[in-house]
Structure 1
Amino acid sequence: MHLTAITRRGALGLAGAALLAGCGGTGAEPKHGGTLRAAFAGGGAAETLDPHRVNLFADAARAKAMYDKLADLGGDMAAVPRLAESWEGNADLTVWTVRLREAVFHDGAPLTAADVLYSYRRITDPEETFRAGQDLAPIDLDASRAVDDRTVEFVLRHPLAEFPASLAAFGAYIVPEGADDFTAPVGTGPFTFAAFEPGRSFAADRFADHWDGPALLDRLEIVVADEESARVNALLGGQVDYAHDLSATTARANEGDDAITLLSSPGSNMLGFAMKTDRAPFDDPRVRQAMFLLCDREALLESVLSGRGLVGNDLFGLGFEHYADAIPQRERDVEAAKALLAEAGVPGLSVVLDTAEVGAGLPEAARIFAEQLREGGVQVELNVRNADTYWSEILTEGQIASYRSGAMPIASHLSQRLLTDSPTNLTAWRDADFDDRYLLLQSTADETDRQALYDELQQRLHDEGGYLVWGFADWIVGTAAHVRGVEPAPANTLDWARFDKVWTE
């Protein structure tokens, strides 16, 4: 079967009168066989099968199908063992011993400690900018060693109480020793590679020898549908069985019907705007503070999320461990914002706000926020970028951009996005003292002292950072009524896109 990408027009043609949704049954006996077709927003030619280069949710779903990490994240952001059977730190938390499960790659080769060490060395290669590199940076890989084929001794550069979370870092997948060509990937995951056309489609087949048991499905197919409306209509029209990343508006419109099931993970989708702190006008902290004060978070929550979410306070990770919930909620104050802009010498400020159809509600939020800024005398030009290249472009270009994030530990958010050498430092936040305090945080074993450092760093970001976090949306996916086994889960966690446990009736 030839797989193709789904467009809004093509999906609308099949949706017709099938505008029904609701709850599929639960508790049924799992069945083996069949094919599941899942629709994700994509990234065009930038899509990849290299598990260490994943950035998009479509990339992450494909990587998860074909590869495993040593650990993954539970919904509470705690590390859950995967390829690691166990881990244990020494008394001062500078050496961690990880015992591997018995697992095999798709070509029949056994998983070994050498594969793990090779994978981590590749991820931390200083010539590369892999996202998991900062999470694994505390490991001294020259000093680390394979004790035997199934045991790795990781020697750290400093004590690290939260080391297991590093094993679960986004993109920290294990590949075979020596792997550098991913056109026909070989992993230990529940599905084996079958076909891939960047920006259009992907197919993988059940791996009978997966260490966690074979998948229930015979085949997984992932197709690209960039617009949410295309994903929804493809689901309603029977083109796909699973639609990723749906908006609260869509959920509300389809609640109570029977043809689809909507699954929601509350408050796990961070929404906001990212300001470049290294260039005008946002290199002046007073201008950034004015943006914070001009944002009407409640209005955005009601308009974009239909009230289905949580108000943000310009910090990532609401509800997660180490979140600085003692920091007072920021309130809108238009006059104070105007005073800050005048003090900064830019009372008639003009900005270009980048956005794209890369996530449910992002363009709508940008339009509403632009109107809120205009109430403070800020002139705003909306720049709608190409969805396929949006994330790579805004990493280095522009002034302020629509932004979103799935779940990860707050430590990973700091290391991947807010250190001088972070690979996805979208706000260009570079502060040597901040880097040093983060390193101290990592090295602090006492939980109370470590939390005090988390609070300190988050207070800095709340006062003068570049992320304006206005809300946390529910993470919503939709499935056809005949699909079973999909669990509501925050993106980037163990049960998210866990298609090996899904079946169809």
Structure 2
Amino acid sequence: MHDERFPGPHRRGFLAATGAATLGALALTGCGGSGTERSDAKGDSTPRRGGRLRAAFAGGGGSETLDPHLANLFADAARAKAQYDKLADYGADLSAQPRLAEKWEANKTLDRWRITLRRATFHDGRPVTAADVLYSYRRIADPGQAFRARASLEPIDLDASRATGERGIEFVLKRPTAEFPNVLAAFGAYIVPEGAGAAGGFDKKPIGSGPFRFVSFTPGRSAVFRRYDDYWDGAPHLEELEFVVANEESARVNALLGGQVEYAHELNPTTARAHESRGQIGIVRLRNSAMQAFCMKTDRAPFDDKRVREAFFLIADREELVDGALSGAGTVGNDLFGKGYEYYADGLPQREQDLDRARALLKQAGAEKLKVTLDASAVAAGFVEAAGIFRDQAKKAGVTIEVKLGSKDSYWADILDNGSLCCYRSGAMPIEAHISQRLLTDSTTNATKWKHKDFDALYQQAQSTRDKAERAAVHERMQRRLYAEGGFLIWGFADWILGTARNVKGVATEAPANTLDWARFDKVWLA
């Protein structure tokens, strides 16, 4: 469900055909909804049925598809959520919440999980069954396809997994996995009818089990969906939902101001501030949606010395970075991923700038006149500004930083293995997923080159620990280690900003981007 990039729209044209904006209890039962606060949820506004809401997103041009397993852009994810369901999805704190899975439970060794499906139907009236789930996961796991959720499903032995009845599945895992529900909630792990991909019909007449059913689709321009009255989580308030493509942020805002759309995704902080007090449109800020950081590679000089890394932690004035690079649209970080998420170690002291201590540490490390290159790019909002601010902060500690601007097209590949210091950001994902994808010896996106066998062992211990409180304690041990000597200088968490027409009600206000209640149009209505 994550993407560390989150690039903003950068190509022209409302309804344009090009452009991109990328985004990735052991026994639990429950119904839909995660308790997320919504606009007017506690006011006098009563949900009204009917009407068409038009939502503007940056799109992917003529190559767009409604195949939910190919979802990569925010627009893809929003369209997929309207039409399909996953077995689970992430709540506001990034814990897994049940969706099509009514219940899950593990065996004692945490390497077999039994799933019970809720009673739900596809748009053609067929029930959602275990066979559909296994078909969907095996399709995603096909090594010959480029389905994004494939890596997330890797812990499952799909050859050994089986249906135990029409609504029952036993997943056999390759190793103990206490956080297996996170796999069920993975970005792009949608359930489709058995055989759905065989005829390539996802863009012609796709059938899902979500709150809206297909009406029409023109890649790079629009997609229209209509209310599904038999949706298991309750029929949507809206009669119709239309997604339109507007790649430039200014185009989305102008369309909103001009009444061409009622919802505009991804506004920049300056735009939000300019319109917040005027009353023409509503501004919704989704807190903690994007981690903002500098990434230090711990396997090479100068950051192979933990004293240098600690010095850089103490050089950062986080308030200044949030105010300057994010225009104040965010909160300060504490060098740990996932502020406010499940397992976050919020008891650690907030790190403050301490230039004297930073200079002392650099002197101890023999790096008093340190010179280092900071890789940055305009690939993400605030990167260039943050690099300049940090360069000036470092100068006060006797450190010379040269800011090197890289290509927007190749930046993420370039910084993975090259250089020693770079700008970095990440979207919402569970802390467990952040660790497994970025901080283990064999992690495929280990940008800090943090490779410690004892840390790997702690992660495996957490995944093998059945008791949640004991597992949380292991997660805290890992985070304390990262806080003391890790390679991520996490200085802030940016808001994700939406714009709405004044008559749009029910938009979630506490859901980070890519979680269950983000783009949850089945709970929105027009007043």
Q: Same fold (TM over 0.5)?
A: yes
Residue 514 of structure 2 aligns with an amino acid whose one-letter code is: N
- 2:191 corresponds to: 174
User: Are 1:495 and 2:512 an aligned pair?
Assistant: no
Residue 405 of structure 1 aligns with an amino acid whose one-letter code is: S
Unaligned residue ranges in structure 1 (runs of 5+): 12-22
446, 462, 467: which one aligns with 1:446: 467
- 2:51 corresponds to: 33
Name the SS of the counterpart of 1:353 in structure 2: strand
Cα shift at 1:173:
2.0
443, 448, 458: which one aligns with 2:479: 458
User: Take 1:325 and 1:474, find their aligned partners in 2: how far apart are those partners?
Assistant: 19
In the superposition, relative to structure 1, how do residues 487 and 101 fare at CA in structure 2: closer, same or farther (>3 Å)? same
Instruction: Judge conservation of contact 1:192–1:207 (CA < 8 Å) in 2.
Output: no
User: Are 1:113 and 2:133 an aligned pair?
Assistant: no
In the superposition, relative to structure 1, how do residues 126 and 459 fare at CA in structure 2: closer, same or farther (>3 Å)? farther
Instruction: Judge conservation of contact 2:13–2:246 (CA < 8 Å) in 1.
Output: no
80, 94, 100: which one aligns with 1:83: 100
Q: Matched residue pairs, number?
A: 484
Instruction: Judge conservation of contact 2:57–2:74 (CA < 8 Å) in 1.
Output: no
Kindly provide the CA deviation profile for residues 159-200 of structure 1, in whole angstroms up to 9, marking residues without a partner as x: 544433332223322234453758626543334373354xx4
359, 378, 388: which one aligns with 1:367: 388
Paired residues for 1:398-477 under 5 Å? 399-477=420-498
User: Take 1:239 and 1:362, find their aligned partners in 2: how far apart are those partners?
Assistant: 32
* TM-score (normalizing by structure 2): 0.78
In the superposition, relative to structure 1, how do residues 78 and 136 fare at CA in structure 2: closer, same or farther (>3 Å)? same
In the superposition, relative to structure 1, how do residues 333 and 96 fare at CA in structure 2: closer, same or farther (>3 Å)? same
387, 401, 416: which one aligns with 1:379: 401
Name the SS of the counterpart of 2:285 in structure 1: strand
User: Take 1:132 and 1:363, find their aligned partners in 2: how far apart are those partners?
Assistant: 31
Cα shift at 1:438:
1.0
Paired residues for 1:235-314 under 5 Å? 235-277=256-298, 282=303, 285-307=306-328, 309-314=330-335
Name the SS of the counterpart of 1:263 in structure 2: strand
Instruction: Judge conservation of contact 2:321–2:491 (CA < 8 Å) in 1.
Output: yes
- 1:19 corresponds to: none
- 1:16 corresponds to: none
Residue 381 of structure 1 aligns with an amino acid whose one-letter code is: V
User: Are 1:95 and 2:117 an aligned pair?
Assistant: no
Cα shift at 1:326:
3.0
In the superposition, relative to structure 1, how do residues 490 and 331 fare at CA in structure 2: closer, same or farther (>3 Å)? same
Unaligned residue ranges in structure 2 (runs of 5+): 1-7, 15-38
Kindly provide the CA deviation profile for residues 75-115 of structure 1, in whole angstroms up to 9, marking residues without a partner as x: 23333221112223345544332122333445665432122
Kindly provide the CA deviation profile for residues 425-445 of structure 1, in whole angstroms up to 9, marking residues without a partner as x: 444444444333212111112
Residue 295 of structure 1 aligns with an amino acid whose one-letter code is: A
Instruction: Judge conservation of contact 1:416–1:424 (CA < 8 Å) in 2.
Output: yes
Cα shift at 1:379:
2.5
Residue 456 of structure 1 aligns with an amino acid whose one-letter code is: R
In the superposition, relative to structure 1, how do residues 158 and 352 fare at CA in structure 2: closer, same or farther (>3 Å)? closer
User: Take 2:420 and 2:244, find their aligned partners in 1: how far apart are those partners?
Assistant: 34
Identity of aligned residues (%): 55
Residue 30 of structure 1 aligns with an amino acid whose one-letter code is: R
Instruction: Judge conservation of contact 1:367–1:382 (CA < 8 Å) in 2.
Output: no
Instruction: Judge conservation of contact 2:262–2:504 (CA < 8 Å) in 1.
Output: yes
Cα shift at 1:465:
2.6
User: Take 1:51 and 1:334, find their aligned partners in 2: how far apart are those partners?
Assistant: 49
In the superposition, relative to structure 1, how do residues 175 and 313 fare at CA in structure 2: closer, same or farther (>3 Å)? same
75, 81, 85: which one aligns with 1:68: 85
User: Take 2:379 and 2:250, find their aligned partners in 1: how far apart are those partners?
Assistant: 11
Cα shift at 1:327:
2.7
Cα shift at 1:392:
5.6
Kindly provide the CA deviation profile for residues 435-464 of structure 1, in whole angstroms up to 9, marking residues without a partner as x: 332121111123343222112211232233
Name the SS of the counterpart of 1:203 in structure 2: strand
In the superposition, relative to structure 1, how do residues 302 and 219 fare at CA in structure 2: closer, same or farther (>3 Å)? closer
Instruction: Judge conservation of contact 1:105–1:186 (CA < 8 Å) in 2.
Output: yes
Kindly provide the CA deviation profile for residues 270-292 of structure 1, in whole angstroms up to 9, marking residues without a partner as x: 22233444566555545443432
Instruction: Judge conservation of contact 2:65–2:202 (CA < 8 Å) in 1.
Output: no
In the superposition, relative to structure 1, how do residues 186 and 352 fare at CA in structure 2: closer, same or farther (>3 Å)? farther
- 1:206 corresponds to: 226
Paired residues for 1:326-405 under 5 Å? 326-338=347-359, 340=361, 343=365, 347-359=369-381, 361-375=382-396, 376-383=398-405, 385-386=407-408, 391=412, 394-395=415-416, 399-405=420-426
Cα shift at 1:504:
3.4
User: Take 1:196 and 1:339, find their aligned partners in 2: how far apart are those partners?
Assistant: 61
User: Take 1:82 and 1:114, find their aligned partners in 2: how far apart are those partners?
Assistant: 17
Cα shift at 1:149:
2.2
Instruction: Judge conservation of contact 2:53–2:262 (CA < 8 Å) in 1.
Output: no
In the superposition, relative to structure 1, how do residues 9 and 165 fare at CA in structure 2: closer, same or farther (>3 Å)? closer
Instruction: Judge conservation of contact 2:13–2:247 (CA < 8 Å) in 1.
Output: no
Instruction: Judge conservation of contact 1:49–1:182 (CA < 8 Å) in 2.
Output: no
In angstroms, what is the RMSD of aligned CA positions?
3.6
Instruction: Judge conservation of contact 2:388–2:403 (CA < 8 Å) in 1.
Output: no
